[in-house]
Chain A
Amino acid sequence: GQNIDQPTEMTATEGAIVQINCTYQTSGFNGLFWYQQHAGEAPTFLSYNVLDGLEEKGRFSSFLSRSKGYSYLLLKELQMKDSASYLCAVINAGRRALTFGSGTRLQVQP
């Protein structure tokens, strides 16, 4: 089976940096995705990691450590529009479907 853990809620200040962690336990790991979901909207793709290290994409970066079963999403220069849920999802070798964590609801305050 698979187990994916993320914090339920986080609060941060506009302009600051926030790190959202995700730990997973799975067999046959084949990649990790991060999605953003605004309230009442569809999830949208943010990043994909399959190798250890940091992937940077503008204000957002995602890190993976396969040996530790750990990933984080780093959001810099936070803006009010970054208030959303952030979903961590893992894909296994041989299975084309994702397994999602419960998501982290981020509230950005002025």
Chain B
Amino acid sequence: DVKVTQSSRYLVKRTGEKVFLECVQDMDHENMFWYRQDPGLGLRLIYFSYDVKMKEKGDIPEGYSVSREKKERFSLILESASTNQTSMYLCASSDRDSNQPQHFGDGTRLSIL
């Protein structure tokens, strides 16, 4: 069965810290995505990657970076966490073709104090 695993379900960090969110998929998918989900705003795309070492900015990339050193792993980095980055973060993966559905992880609820 399809599996996307996010490293933490809940995370609490302090303002100014560097934060790493990890995501691993076991489906050999080319595409991987990071979203944040906020009430009333839906899912908004932060970054995505369509191949190892490749990345593209989504709609709200400011304050974030990503890393994809291996096909199965896609990391989201908050360079210097701020309180407005408190959110639910969702990772997803999909096969190469755009008509293939994305499969989501269970999410990481991140609080920045």
Write the residues of chain A forming the contact surface with B, with a CB cutoff of 8 angstroms: 8, 30-31, 33, 41-45, 48, 50, 87, 89, 91, 93, 95-103
Contact B40–A102 (Cβ < 8 Å): yes
Report which of A41, A91, A99, A102 forms a contact with B106, defined as CB distance below 8 A. A41
Considering the complex, which residues of chain B in the window 57-113 have a beta carbon less than 8 Å from any beta carbon of chain A?
58-59, 90, 94, 98-99, 101-107
List, sorted by A's number, 7 A–B pairs whose CB atoms are closer than 8 Å: A41-B106, A42-B106, A43-B43, A44-B104, A91-B98, A91-B99, A100-B35
With a cutoff of 8 Å between Cβ atoms, the chain B residues found around residue A44 in the complex are: 104
Report which of B42, B48, B98, B101 forms a contact with A101, defined as CB distance below 8 A. B42
Contact A97–B58 (Cβ < 8 Å): yes
Write the residues of chain B forming the contact surface with A, with a CB cutoff of 8 angstroms: 4, 31, 33, 35, 40-45, 48, 50, 56, 58-59, 90, 94, 98-99, 101-107
Contact A50–B99 (Cβ < 8 Å): yes
Contact A45–B103 (Cβ < 8 Å): yes
Interchain nearest-CB distance for B49 vs A (Å): 10
Nearest chain A residue, comparing its CB with the CB of B103: A45
Contact B42–A102 (Cβ < 8 Å): yes
Contacts A41-B106, A96-B94 supplied; 6 other A-B pairs, CB < 8 Å: A42-B107, A43-B104, A45-B101, A48-B99, A96-B31, A98-B43
Report which of B41, B45, B56 forms a contact with A98, defined as CB distance below 8 A. B45
Interchain nearest-CB distance for A10 vs B (Å): 16
With a cutoff of 8 Å between Cβ atoms, the chain A residues found around residue B90 in the complex are: 42-43
Nearest chain B residue, comparing its CB with the CB of A91: B98
Nearest chain A residue, comparing its CB with the CB of B30: A96
